[in-house]
A and B are shown apart, each in its own frame.
Chain A
Amino acid sequence: MGYVAIKGGKASIEGAAAATDYLRASSGKQNQSLTLDAIEGQLRLLVSRVVSEGGLYHPKLAALAIKQFQGDTLEAAFALRAYRSTKPRLLETPPQNTVDMRVIRRISSAFKDIPGGQMLGPTYDYALRLLDLGLADENPEDFRAIARHFLADAPENELPDSFPKVLDALRTEGLLPPLKPVAGAPFDITRQPLIFPVPRAAALATMARAETGSLLAIAYSNMRGYGDVHPTIAELRVGYVPVMLPHPVTGEPMEAGEVLMTECEVVAMFEGDDQGGKPVFTLGYGACFGHNEVKAISMAVLDRALQKGMKDGAANPSEDPEFVLLHVDGVDSMGFASHYKMPHYVTFQSDMDRLRTTQAKAGIDTVRQKDTV
Protein backbone atom coordinates (compact mmCIF):
# COMPACT_ATOMS: atom_id res chain seq x y z
CA MET A 1 0.00 0.00 0.00
CA GLY A 2 1.45 3.35 -0.98
CA TYR A 3 0.92 6.87 0.18
CA VAL A 4 -1.95 8.80 -1.37
CA ALA A 5 -1.65 12.45 -2.24
CA ILE A 6 -4.10 14.62 -0.38
CA LYS A 7 -4.76 18.31 -0.42
CA GLY A 8 -6.70 20.75 1.67
CA GLY A 9 -6.18 22.57 4.92
CA LYS A 10 -4.57 25.69 3.48
CA ALA A 11 -7.01 28.01 5.17
CA SER A 12 -6.74 26.20 8.48
CA ILE A 13 -2.93 26.32 8.35
CA GLU A 14 -3.07 30.06 7.77
CA GLY A 15 -5.61 30.31 10.55
CA ALA A 16 -3.35 28.37 12.91
CA ALA A 17 -0.53 30.84 12.26
CA ALA A 18 -2.90 33.74 12.88
CA ALA A 19 -4.26 32.10 16.05
CA THR A 20 -0.73 31.62 17.39
CA ASP A 21 0.09 35.23 16.72
CA TYR A 22 -3.22 36.32 18.23
CA LEU A 23 -2.33 34.66 21.54
CA ARG A 24 1.05 36.42 21.50
CA ALA A 25 -0.49 39.81 20.80
CA SER A 26 -3.53 39.58 23.04
CA SER A 27 -1.85 38.39 26.20
CA GLY A 28 -1.34 40.57 29.25
CA LYS A 29 -2.86 43.84 30.31
CA GLN A 30 -0.37 46.09 28.61
CA ASN A 31 -0.45 44.49 25.15
CA GLN A 32 3.09 45.64 24.52
CA SER A 33 5.30 43.85 22.05
CA LEU A 34 8.52 42.50 23.55
CA THR A 35 11.57 44.34 22.24
CA LEU A 36 14.54 42.30 21.09
CA ASP A 37 16.74 44.31 23.45
CA ALA A 38 14.55 43.31 26.38
CA ILE A 39 14.71 39.63 25.40
CA GLU A 40 18.45 39.77 24.85
CA GLY A 41 19.11 41.54 28.14
CA GLN A 42 16.49 40.18 30.50
CA LEU A 43 16.19 36.65 29.16
CA ARG A 44 19.91 36.32 28.51
CA LEU A 45 20.13 32.70 29.64
CA LEU A 46 17.33 31.76 27.26
CA VAL A 47 19.16 33.56 24.45
CA SER A 48 22.29 31.65 25.46
CA ARG A 49 20.51 28.33 25.03
CA VAL A 50 19.28 29.27 21.60
CA VAL A 51 22.62 30.54 20.26
CA SER A 52 24.38 27.40 21.42
CA GLU A 53 21.70 24.92 20.33
CA GLY A 54 21.22 26.77 17.05
CA GLY A 55 24.99 26.62 16.50
CA LEU A 56 25.08 30.26 15.48
CA TYR A 57 26.34 33.06 17.71
CA HIS A 58 23.82 35.73 16.83
CA PRO A 59 22.12 36.94 20.03
CA LYS A 60 19.92 39.43 18.19
CA LEU A 61 18.48 36.82 15.85
CA ALA A 62 18.18 34.38 18.74
CA ALA A 63 16.09 36.99 20.56
CA LEU A 64 13.95 37.37 17.45
CA ALA A 65 13.49 33.60 17.22
CA ILE A 66 12.49 33.43 20.89
CA LYS A 67 9.91 36.14 20.27
CA GLN A 68 8.61 34.49 17.10
CA PHE A 69 8.34 31.04 18.67
CA GLN A 70 7.05 32.39 21.97
CA GLY A 71 9.84 31.00 24.12
CA ASP A 72 10.14 27.53 22.57
CA THR A 73 13.89 26.93 22.59
CA LEU A 74 13.76 23.96 20.22
CA GLU A 75 11.81 25.86 17.57
CA ALA A 76 13.98 28.95 18.07
CA ALA A 77 17.16 26.90 17.59
CA PHE A 78 15.58 25.32 14.51
CA ALA A 79 14.92 28.80 13.07
CA LEU A 80 18.55 29.81 13.64
CA ARG A 81 19.73 26.64 11.89
CA ALA A 82 17.41 27.41 8.98
CA TYR A 83 18.76 30.97 8.82
CA ARG A 84 22.36 29.80 8.80
CA SER A 85 21.64 27.44 5.93
CA THR A 86 20.74 30.45 3.75
CA LYS A 87 24.00 32.31 4.33
CA PRO A 88 27.28 31.79 2.52
CA ARG A 89 30.23 30.60 4.53
CA LEU A 90 32.96 33.18 4.09
CA LEU A 91 35.71 31.80 6.25
CA GLU A 92 36.95 29.51 8.95
CA THR A 93 38.68 31.24 11.82
CA PRO A 94 42.18 30.30 12.86
CA PRO A 95 42.14 28.32 16.14
CA GLN A 96 40.87 30.65 18.87
CA ASN A 97 42.15 30.42 22.40
CA THR A 98 40.15 30.92 25.57
CA VAL A 99 43.21 32.07 27.54
CA ASP A 100 42.33 35.57 26.30
CA MET A 101 38.71 35.28 27.44
CA ARG A 102 37.43 38.49 29.05
CA VAL A 103 36.13 36.73 32.08
CA ILE A 104 32.95 37.64 33.98
CA ARG A 105 32.91 34.51 36.13
CA ARG A 106 35.45 31.86 37.07
CA ILE A 107 35.38 29.25 39.76
CA SER A 108 37.25 26.09 40.66
CA SER A 109 36.11 23.22 42.81
CA ALA A 110 39.61 21.74 42.74
CA PHE A 111 41.50 24.51 44.53
CA LYS A 112 40.56 27.26 46.96
CA ASP A 113 43.31 29.52 45.68
CA ILE A 114 43.66 29.78 41.94
CA PRO A 115 45.89 32.24 40.08
CA GLY A 116 43.95 35.49 39.92
CA GLY A 117 41.36 34.31 42.43
CA GLN A 118 37.84 32.99 42.19
CA MET A 119 35.07 35.34 41.09
CA LEU A 120 31.49 34.21 41.35
CA GLY A 121 30.24 36.73 38.80
CA PRO A 122 26.56 36.57 37.84
CA THR A 123 25.16 33.32 39.27
CA TYR A 124 22.18 31.91 41.16
CA ASP A 125 24.34 29.18 42.68
CA TYR A 126 24.29 30.62 46.18
CA ALA A 127 20.79 32.09 46.12
CA LEU A 128 17.76 30.57 47.77
CA ARG A 129 15.38 29.13 45.23
CA LEU A 130 12.53 31.21 46.54
CA LEU A 131 10.29 33.36 44.37
CA ASP A 132 11.07 37.06 44.49
CA LEU A 133 7.55 38.40 44.60
CA GLY A 134 8.85 41.95 44.21
CA LEU A 135 9.61 41.23 40.57
CA ALA A 136 5.95 40.55 39.88
CA ASP A 137 5.17 44.25 39.83
CA GLU A 138 8.54 45.91 39.25
CA ASN A 139 8.33 49.60 38.71
CA PRO A 140 10.41 51.07 35.88
CA GLU A 141 12.30 53.46 38.14
CA ASP A 142 13.35 50.67 40.52
CA PHE A 143 14.34 48.56 37.55
CA ARG A 144 16.65 51.24 36.16
CA ALA A 145 18.12 51.91 39.60
CA ILE A 146 19.42 48.34 39.89
CA ALA A 147 22.18 48.86 37.32
CA ARG A 148 23.00 52.32 38.62
CA HIS A 149 23.44 51.14 42.18
CA PHE A 150 25.41 48.07 41.21
CA LEU A 151 28.02 50.11 39.38
CA ALA A 152 28.13 52.81 42.07
CA ASP A 153 28.79 50.19 44.73
CA ALA A 154 31.52 48.38 42.80
CA PRO A 155 34.87 48.62 44.58
CA GLU A 156 37.87 50.21 42.89
CA ASN A 157 39.87 47.47 41.27
CA GLU A 158 42.89 46.77 39.18
CA LEU A 159 41.62 43.44 37.92
CA PRO A 160 42.87 42.18 34.58
CA ASP A 161 40.47 41.23 31.79
CA SER A 162 41.83 37.70 31.43
CA PHE A 163 43.28 35.12 33.78
CA PRO A 164 45.66 32.14 33.62
CA LYS A 165 44.20 28.66 33.41
CA VAL A 166 43.98 26.40 36.45
CA LEU A 167 44.95 23.41 34.30
CA ASP A 168 48.27 25.06 33.44
CA ALA A 169 49.42 24.72 37.05
CA LEU A 170 48.55 21.01 37.10
CA ARG A 171 50.25 20.53 33.76
CA THR A 172 53.42 22.21 35.02
CA GLU A 173 53.50 19.69 37.87
CA GLY A 174 53.31 16.83 35.39
CA LEU A 175 49.92 15.68 36.63
CA LEU A 176 48.15 15.98 33.28
CA PRO A 177 48.63 14.39 29.87
CA PRO A 178 50.69 16.54 27.49
CA LEU A 179 48.90 18.80 25.02
CA LYS A 180 48.44 17.21 21.62
CA PRO A 181 50.22 18.70 18.63
CA VAL A 182 48.07 20.96 16.46
CA ALA A 183 46.29 18.82 13.87
CA GLY A 184 44.68 19.80 10.58
CA ALA A 185 41.16 21.05 9.97
CA PRO A 186 38.69 19.58 12.46
CA PHE A 187 35.65 17.51 11.55
CA ASP A 188 32.84 19.77 10.28
CA ILE A 189 29.52 18.35 11.47
CA THR A 190 27.59 20.82 9.30
CA ARG A 191 29.02 19.29 6.13
CA GLN A 192 30.12 15.76 7.02
CA PRO A 193 27.78 13.01 8.22
CA LEU A 194 28.56 11.28 11.50
CA ILE A 195 29.77 7.87 10.33
CA PHE A 196 31.22 5.99 13.24
CA PRO A 197 33.87 5.90 14.52
CA VAL A 198 34.25 9.68 14.52
CA PRO A 199 37.14 11.74 15.88
CA ARG A 200 36.89 13.62 19.17
CA ALA A 201 36.53 16.90 17.23
CA ALA A 202 33.22 15.63 15.83
CA ALA A 203 32.04 14.69 19.30
CA LEU A 204 32.96 18.08 20.75
CA ALA A 205 31.29 19.97 17.89
CA THR A 206 28.13 17.85 18.15
CA MET A 207 27.88 18.37 21.89
CA ALA A 208 28.62 22.11 21.62
CA ARG A 209 25.35 22.56 19.73
CA ALA A 210 23.43 19.81 21.50
CA GLU A 211 20.22 20.36 23.40
CA THR A 212 21.00 21.16 27.02
CA GLY A 213 18.50 18.76 28.58
CA SER A 214 19.60 15.87 26.39
CA LEU A 215 23.26 16.34 27.31
CA LEU A 216 22.37 16.70 30.96
CA ALA A 217 20.25 13.54 30.99
CA ILE A 218 22.97 11.34 29.53
CA ALA A 219 25.71 12.96 31.62
CA TYR A 220 23.52 12.47 34.69
CA SER A 221 23.24 8.75 33.93
CA ASN A 222 27.03 8.63 34.09
CA MET A 223 27.16 10.64 37.32
CA ARG A 224 24.55 8.43 39.01
CA GLY A 225 26.37 5.20 38.36
CA TYR A 226 26.11 4.18 34.71
CA GLY A 227 29.68 5.37 34.30
CA ASP A 228 32.75 6.24 36.29
CA VAL A 229 33.75 9.83 35.58
CA HIS A 230 33.38 11.39 39.07
CA PRO A 231 34.70 14.74 37.89
CA THR A 232 36.27 17.62 39.74
CA ILE A 233 35.83 20.97 38.05
CA ALA A 234 39.32 22.36 37.62
CA GLU A 235 37.83 25.55 36.19
CA LEU A 236 34.51 26.82 35.00
CA ARG A 237 34.64 30.18 33.29
CA VAL A 238 32.22 32.44 31.52
CA GLY A 239 33.31 35.38 29.44
CA TYR A 240 33.87 36.99 26.10
CA VAL A 241 36.44 35.50 23.74
CA PRO A 242 37.89 37.99 21.25
CA VAL A 243 37.69 36.44 17.79
CA MET A 244 40.88 37.15 15.88
CA LEU A 245 40.84 37.13 12.09
CA PRO A 246 43.46 38.22 9.56
CA HIS A 247 43.28 41.90 8.63
CA PRO A 248 42.47 42.07 4.90
CA VAL A 249 45.42 44.41 4.24
CA THR A 250 48.13 43.51 6.72
CA GLY A 251 47.25 39.86 7.29
CA GLU A 252 47.91 40.46 11.00
CA PRO A 253 45.31 39.06 13.41
CA MET A 254 42.71 41.73 14.15
CA GLU A 255 39.86 41.58 16.61
CA ALA A 256 36.67 41.10 14.63
CA GLY A 257 34.41 41.06 17.67
CA GLU A 258 33.81 38.89 20.70
CA VAL A 259 31.74 35.86 21.57
CA LEU A 260 30.21 35.08 24.96
CA MET A 261 30.93 31.50 25.89
CA THR A 262 31.04 29.10 28.80
CA GLU A 263 33.92 26.70 29.26
CA CYS A 264 34.45 23.85 31.70
CA GLU A 265 37.49 21.68 32.27
CA VAL A 266 37.03 18.63 34.46
CA VAL A 267 39.68 16.40 35.99
CA ALA A 268 38.76 12.74 36.39
CA MET A 269 40.44 9.59 37.66
CA PHE A 270 44.08 9.08 36.80
CA GLU A 271 45.36 6.28 34.62
CA GLY A 272 48.63 5.16 33.08
CA ASP A 273 49.23 5.33 29.37
CA ASP A 274 49.45 2.28 27.10
CA GLN A 275 53.24 2.47 26.98
CA GLY A 276 53.60 2.16 30.74
CA GLY A 277 54.28 5.84 31.32
CA LYS A 278 53.57 7.60 34.58
CA PRO A 279 49.91 7.85 35.52
CA VAL A 280 48.21 11.20 34.97
CA PHE A 281 44.74 12.59 35.50
CA THR A 282 42.28 12.21 32.67
CA LEU A 283 40.44 15.29 31.44
CA GLY A 284 37.11 16.28 30.00
CA TYR A 285 36.27 19.47 28.17
CA GLY A 286 33.03 21.32 27.61
CA ALA A 287 32.33 24.60 25.85
CA CYS A 288 29.38 26.31 24.26
CA PHE A 289 28.21 29.67 23.01
CA GLY A 290 26.52 31.83 25.60
CA HIS A 291 26.21 31.42 29.35
CA ASN A 292 25.11 27.86 30.02
CA GLU A 293 26.99 26.17 32.82
CA VAL A 294 24.94 22.98 33.09
CA LYS A 295 25.58 22.35 29.42
CA ALA A 296 29.33 22.97 29.65
CA ILE A 297 29.66 20.70 32.70
CA SER A 298 27.53 17.95 31.12
CA MET A 299 29.57 18.16 27.93
CA ALA A 300 32.83 17.90 29.87
CA VAL A 301 31.59 14.80 31.72
CA LEU A 302 30.45 13.20 28.47
CA ASP A 303 33.69 14.14 26.68
CA ARG A 304 35.60 12.24 29.32
CA ALA A 305 33.16 9.31 29.14
CA LEU A 306 33.35 9.19 25.34
CA GLN A 307 37.15 9.27 25.37
CA LYS A 308 37.03 6.15 27.53
CA GLY A 309 34.45 4.54 25.27
CA MET A 310 36.46 5.31 22.13
CA LYS A 311 39.57 3.82 23.73
CA ASP A 312 38.30 0.79 25.62
CA GLY A 313 34.83 0.22 24.22
CA ALA A 314 31.61 1.46 25.74
CA ALA A 315 30.60 -0.11 29.04
CA ASN A 316 27.46 2.01 29.35
CA PRO A 317 25.36 4.30 27.16
CA SER A 318 27.20 7.52 28.10
CA GLU A 319 30.46 6.02 26.81
CA ASP A 320 28.98 5.00 23.47
CA PRO A 321 29.67 7.71 20.84
CA GLU A 322 26.88 6.53 18.58
CA PHE A 323 24.31 6.49 21.38
CA VAL A 324 25.31 9.90 22.72
CA LEU A 325 26.04 11.85 19.55
CA LEU A 326 23.02 10.68 17.59
CA HIS A 327 20.55 11.50 20.36
CA VAL A 328 21.58 14.87 21.78
CA ASP A 329 20.70 17.20 18.94
CA GLY A 330 17.56 19.11 19.82
CA VAL A 331 16.54 19.97 16.27
CA ASP A 332 16.92 16.35 15.13
CA SER A 333 15.10 14.82 18.06
CA MET A 334 12.38 17.47 18.20
CA GLY A 335 11.80 17.02 14.49
CA PHE A 336 11.40 13.28 14.87
CA ALA A 337 9.02 13.61 17.80
CA SER A 338 7.01 16.30 16.02
CA HIS A 339 6.72 14.38 12.81
CA TYR A 340 4.35 11.98 14.57
CA LYS A 341 1.81 14.81 14.50
CA MET A 342 1.79 14.74 10.72
CA PRO A 343 -0.89 12.67 8.95
CA HIS A 344 -0.14 8.95 9.02
CA TYR A 345 -3.58 8.03 7.70
CA VAL A 346 -2.44 5.43 5.21
CA THR A 347 0.11 3.72 7.41
CA PHE A 348 -2.34 3.58 10.31
CA GLN A 349 -5.05 2.22 8.02
CA SER A 350 -2.57 -0.46 7.08
CA ASP A 351 -1.85 -1.19 10.75
CA MET A 352 -5.58 -1.59 11.41
CA ASP A 353 -6.00 -3.89 8.41
CA ARG A 354 -3.16 -6.08 9.60
CA LEU A 355 -4.58 -6.25 13.11
CA ARG A 356 -8.05 -7.17 11.83
CA THR A 357 -6.59 -9.87 9.63
CA THR A 358 -4.55 -11.24 12.50
CA GLN A 359 -7.57 -11.25 14.79
CA ALA A 360 -9.70 -12.92 12.12
CA LYS A 361 -7.09 -15.60 11.61
CA ALA A 362 -7.02 -16.18 15.36
CA GLY A 363 -10.81 -16.57 15.32
CA ILE A 364 -11.43 -13.60 17.57
CA ASP A 365 -14.84 -11.99 17.29
CA THR A 366 -13.92 -8.31 16.90
CA VAL A 367 -16.02 -5.35 17.88
CA ARG A 368 -16.11 -4.29 14.24
CA GLN A 369 -17.53 -7.64 13.20
CA LYS A 370 -20.22 -7.37 15.84
CA ASP A 371 -21.00 -3.81 14.85
CA THR A 372 -21.44 -4.70 11.24
CA VAL A 373 -23.88 -7.51 11.86
Chain B
Amino acid sequence: MNLPPDFPPRNRWGALLAQLPADQVRTAAAVLMLEVVDITLPQSGLGLMHLSDSALNDGFYLGEIPVARAHVRVKCADGRSGEGGAVLLDDRARLARAIAVLDAALAAQLPGWESVATLVAQGLDAHEQRAQTRRALLARTHVDFSLLGQEEEDE
Protein backbone atom coordinates (compact mmCIF):
# COMPACT_ATOMS: atom_id res chain seq x y z
CA MET B 1 0.00 0.00 0.00
CA ASN B 2 1.31 3.40 -0.95
CA LEU B 3 0.54 6.93 0.08
CA PRO B 4 -1.91 8.69 -2.25
CA PRO B 5 -0.27 10.91 -4.87
CA ASP B 6 -1.67 14.08 -3.31
CA PHE B 7 -0.37 13.17 0.14
CA PRO B 8 1.83 15.93 1.57
CA PRO B 9 5.57 15.48 0.92
CA ARG B 10 7.87 14.46 3.76
CA ASN B 11 9.17 17.99 4.24
CA ARG B 12 5.71 19.03 5.45
CA TRP B 13 4.99 16.12 7.81
CA GLY B 14 6.65 17.71 10.83
CA ALA B 15 4.79 21.01 10.51
CA LEU B 16 1.49 19.22 9.95
CA LEU B 17 1.93 16.88 12.91
CA ALA B 18 2.85 19.89 15.04
CA GLN B 19 -0.65 21.30 14.36
CA LEU B 20 -2.13 18.50 16.48
CA PRO B 21 -2.29 18.40 20.28
CA ALA B 22 1.10 17.38 21.66
CA ASP B 23 -0.40 14.59 23.79
CA GLN B 24 -2.00 13.03 20.73
CA VAL B 25 1.31 13.06 18.87
CA ARG B 26 3.30 11.60 21.78
CA THR B 27 0.71 8.88 22.33
CA ALA B 28 0.71 7.99 18.64
CA ALA B 29 4.50 7.61 18.69
CA ALA B 30 4.39 5.48 21.83
CA VAL B 31 1.78 3.02 20.56
CA LEU B 32 3.94 2.15 17.57
CA MET B 33 6.12 0.19 20.04
CA LEU B 34 9.30 0.89 18.12
CA GLU B 35 12.78 0.62 19.51
CA VAL B 36 14.14 4.14 19.33
CA VAL B 37 17.79 5.13 19.27
CA ASP B 38 18.75 8.79 19.25
CA ILE B 39 21.23 9.56 16.49
CA THR B 40 21.58 12.99 18.04
CA LEU B 41 20.11 13.78 21.44
CA PRO B 42 16.81 15.68 21.27
CA GLN B 43 17.49 19.33 21.99
CA SER B 44 15.60 22.53 22.52
CA GLY B 45 17.07 25.98 22.30
CA LEU B 46 17.11 28.90 19.94
CA GLY B 47 17.79 29.56 16.30
CA LEU B 48 18.90 32.81 14.75
CA MET B 49 16.51 33.79 11.97
CA HIS B 50 18.36 35.00 8.91
CA LEU B 51 16.18 37.10 6.63
CA SER B 52 16.85 38.42 3.15
CA ASP B 53 15.85 42.06 2.90
CA SER B 54 13.57 42.15 -0.11
CA ALA B 55 14.58 45.69 -1.09
CA LEU B 56 18.30 45.18 -1.72
CA ASN B 57 18.89 41.52 -0.78
CA ASP B 58 21.13 42.24 2.18
CA GLY B 59 20.90 39.43 4.70
CA PHE B 60 20.37 40.29 8.36
CA TYR B 61 19.18 38.64 11.54
CA LEU B 62 15.58 39.46 12.35
CA GLY B 63 15.80 37.88 15.81
CA GLU B 64 15.70 34.50 17.48
CA ILE B 65 13.16 31.70 17.35
CA PRO B 66 12.62 28.71 19.63
CA VAL B 67 13.84 25.47 18.08
CA ALA B 68 13.41 21.84 19.12
CA ARG B 69 14.96 19.08 17.08
CA ALA B 70 15.46 15.32 17.10
CA HIS B 71 17.06 12.71 14.86
CA VAL B 72 16.32 9.04 15.55
CA ARG B 73 16.69 5.56 14.19
CA VAL B 74 13.76 3.25 14.88
CA LYS B 75 13.51 -0.51 14.65
CA CYS B 76 10.39 -2.65 14.73
CA ALA B 77 9.90 -6.20 16.01
CA ASP B 78 10.41 -7.78 12.56
CA GLY B 79 13.84 -6.17 12.31
CA ARG B 80 13.01 -3.48 9.77
CA SER B 81 14.30 -0.02 10.59
CA GLY B 82 14.04 3.56 9.51
CA GLU B 83 15.46 6.96 10.22
CA GLY B 84 13.41 10.01 11.14
CA GLY B 85 13.89 13.59 12.11
CA ALA B 86 12.08 16.72 13.09
CA VAL B 87 12.87 20.40 13.56
CA LEU B 88 10.14 22.53 15.08
CA LEU B 89 9.65 26.10 16.14
CA ASP B 90 8.91 24.93 19.64
CA ASP B 91 10.46 24.47 23.09
CA ARG B 92 9.56 20.82 23.51
CA ALA B 93 12.36 18.43 22.65
CA ARG B 94 10.17 15.45 23.60
CA LEU B 95 7.58 16.54 21.07
CA ALA B 96 10.26 16.84 18.39
CA ARG B 97 11.44 13.33 19.25
CA ALA B 98 7.89 11.94 18.99
CA ILE B 99 7.47 13.57 15.59
CA ALA B 100 10.86 12.20 14.49
CA VAL B 101 9.63 8.70 15.42
CA LEU B 102 6.44 9.20 13.42
CA ASP B 103 8.48 10.60 10.53
CA ALA B 104 10.64 7.48 10.52
CA ALA B 105 7.68 5.11 10.72
CA LEU B 106 5.86 6.80 7.87
CA ALA B 107 8.90 7.20 5.63
CA ALA B 108 9.92 3.53 6.00
CA GLN B 109 6.29 2.35 6.12
CA LEU B 110 6.91 0.43 9.31
CA PRO B 111 3.97 -1.34 11.01
CA GLY B 112 1.40 1.24 12.08
CA TRP B 113 2.41 3.77 9.43
CA GLU B 114 -1.21 4.06 8.28
CA SER B 115 -2.16 5.63 11.62
CA VAL B 116 0.66 8.12 11.17
CA ALA B 117 -0.61 8.95 7.69
CA THR B 118 -4.02 9.59 9.24
CA LEU B 119 -2.44 11.97 11.73
CA VAL B 120 -0.66 13.85 8.96
CA ALA B 121 -3.98 14.14 7.14
CA GLN B 122 -5.57 15.51 10.31
CA GLY B 123 -2.75 18.02 10.57
CA LEU B 124 -3.38 19.00 6.96
CA ASP B 125 -7.04 19.59 7.76
CA ALA B 126 -6.08 21.80 10.70
CA HIS B 127 -3.61 23.67 8.50
CA GLU B 128 -6.22 24.14 5.78
CA GLN B 129 -8.75 25.40 8.30
CA ARG B 130 -6.27 27.99 9.51
CA ALA B 131 -5.47 28.97 5.91
CA GLN B 132 -9.19 29.40 5.21
CA THR B 133 -9.51 31.73 8.18
CA ARG B 134 -6.64 33.82 6.89
CA ARG B 135 -8.13 33.89 3.40
CA ALA B 136 -11.36 35.13 4.97
CA LEU B 137 -9.40 38.07 6.43
CA LEU B 138 -8.24 38.88 2.93
CA ALA B 139 -11.49 38.20 1.10
CA ARG B 140 -13.55 40.39 3.45
CA THR B 141 -11.11 43.27 3.02
CA HIS B 142 -10.18 43.05 -0.66
CA VAL B 143 -10.16 46.62 -1.96
CA ASP B 144 -12.40 47.17 -4.95
CA PHE B 145 -11.11 50.43 -6.42
CA SER B 146 -13.13 52.44 -8.87
CA LEU B 147 -12.57 55.91 -10.26
CA LEU B 148 -14.73 58.73 -9.04
CA GLY B 149 -17.57 59.48 -11.42
CA GLN B 150 -17.35 56.17 -13.29
CA GLU B 151 -19.56 54.20 -10.92
CA GLU B 152 -22.41 54.95 -8.60
CA GLU B 153 -21.49 55.36 -5.00
CA ASP B 154 -22.19 52.17 -3.06
CA GLU B 155 -24.07 53.93 -0.29
* A interface residue numbers (CB < 8 A to B): 51-52, 55-58, 84, 87-99, 102-105, 107, 112-113, 117-122, 150-151, 153-157, 159, 161, 165, 167, 177, 179-183, 185-190, 200-202, 204-205, 208-209, 239-240, 242-243, 245-250, 252-259, 261, 263, 265, 283-285, 287-289
| B1 CB within 8 Å of chain A | no
A187 touches B60 (CB 8 A): yes
Q: Chain A residues near B51 (CB, 8 Å)?
A: 95-96, 98, 287
Q: Chain B residues near A242 (CB, 8 Å)?
A: 15
Name the one of B52, B67, B69, B145 contacting A112, with C-beta atoms under 8 angstroms: B145
Name the one of B60, B63, B145 contacting A113, with C-beta atoms under 8 angstroms: B145
A256 touches B87 (CB 8 A): yes
- The answer for the CA separation of A165 and B52 in the assembled complex, in Å, is 14
Query: Residue of A at shortest CB range from B103?
Result: A249
B54 touches A265 (CB 8 A): yes
Query: Residue of A at shortest CB range from B145?
Result: A112
- The answer for the CA separation of A173 and B107 in the assembled complex, in Å, is 46
Q: Chain A residues near B67 (CB, 8 Å)?
A: 90-91, 245, 256
B54 touches A90 (CB 8 A): no
Q: A182-B59, A250-B11 are in contact. Are A92 and B50 (CB under 8 A)?
A: yes
Q: A102-B131, A167-B54, A204-B53 are in contact. Are A245 and B138 (CB under 8 A)?
A: no
- The answer for the CA separation of A103 and B136 in the assembled complex, in Å, is 11
Q: Chain B residues near A288 (CB, 8 Å)?
A: 62
- The answer for the CA separation of A102 and B141 in the assembled complex, in Å, is 16
Query: Residue of B at shortest CB range from A191?
Result: B48
Query: Residue of A at shortest CB range from B138?
Result: A119
Q: Chain A residues near B141 (CB, 8 Å)?
A: 105, 119-121
Q: Chain B residues near A200 (CB, 8 Å)?
A: 56, 58, 60
- The answer for the CA separation of A183 and B59 in the assembled complex, in Å, is 7
Q: A117-B142, A200-B58 are in contact. Are A96 and B50 (CB under 8 A)?
A: yes
Q: Chain A residues near B104 (CB, 8 Å)?
A: 249
- The answer for the CA separation of A256 and B50 in the assembled complex, in Å, is 14
Q: Chain A residues near B40 (CB, 8 Å)?
A: 248
Can you name 13 A-B residue pairings with CB atoms under 8 Å? A89-B47, A98-B54, A104-B134, A104-B137, A154-B136, A154-B139, A154-B140, A161-B135, A186-B50, A249-B103, A253-B11, A254-B11, A256-B14
B49 touches A243 (CB 8 A): yes
A249 touches B62 (CB 8 A): no
Q: Chain A residues near B39 (CB, 8 Å)?
A: 248
Q: Chain A residues near B12 (CB, 8 Å)?
A: 254-255
A186 touches B11 (CB 8 A): no
Q: A95-B51, A161-B134 are in contact. Are A243 and B62 (CB under 8 A)?
A: no
Q: How far is the CB of A319 from chain B (nearest CB, A)?
A: 17
Since A155-B139, A250-B11, A257-B18 are in contact, a sample of 12 more A-B pairs with Cβ atoms closer than 8 Å, ordered by chain A residue number, is A57-B64, A57-B89, A91-B67, A104-B138, A121-B141, A122-B137, A154-B140, A186-B50, A200-B56, A243-B89, A257-B89, A257-B90
Q: How far is the CB of A277 from chain B (nearest CB, A)?
A: 16
Residue-wise, chain B 15-57 has the 8 Å CB interface mask toward A (1 for contact) of 1001000000000000000000001100111111111111111
A120 touches B50 (CB 8 A): no
Q: Chain A residues near B64 (CB, 8 Å)?
A: 55-57, 84, 89, 190
Residue-wise, chain B 61-77 has the 8 Å CB interface mask toward A (1 for contact) of 11111110111000000
- The answer for the CA separation of A181 and B58 in the assembled complex, in Å, is 8
A248 touches B46 (CB 8 A): no
Query: Residue of A at shortest CB range from B136?
Result: A154
Q: Chain B residues near A287 (CB, 8 Å)?
A: 51, 53, 62
| B86 CB within 8 Å of chain A | yes
Q: Chain B residues near A257 (CB, 8 Å)?
A: 15, 18, 65, 88-90
| B101 CB within 8 Å of chain A | no
Q: Chain A residues near B139 (CB, 8 Å)?
A: 154-157, 159
Query: Residue of B at shortest CB range from A155?
Result: B139
B55 touches A201 (CB 8 A): no
Q: Chain A residues near B62 (CB, 8 Å)?
A: 205, 208, 261, 287-289
Query: Residue of A at shortest CB range from B143?
Result: A118
Q: How far is the CB of A161 from chain B (nearest CB, A)?
A: 6
Q: A167-B54, A259-B49 are in contact. Are A186 and B143 (CB under 8 A)?
A: no
Query: Residue of B at shortest CB range from A265?
Result: B55
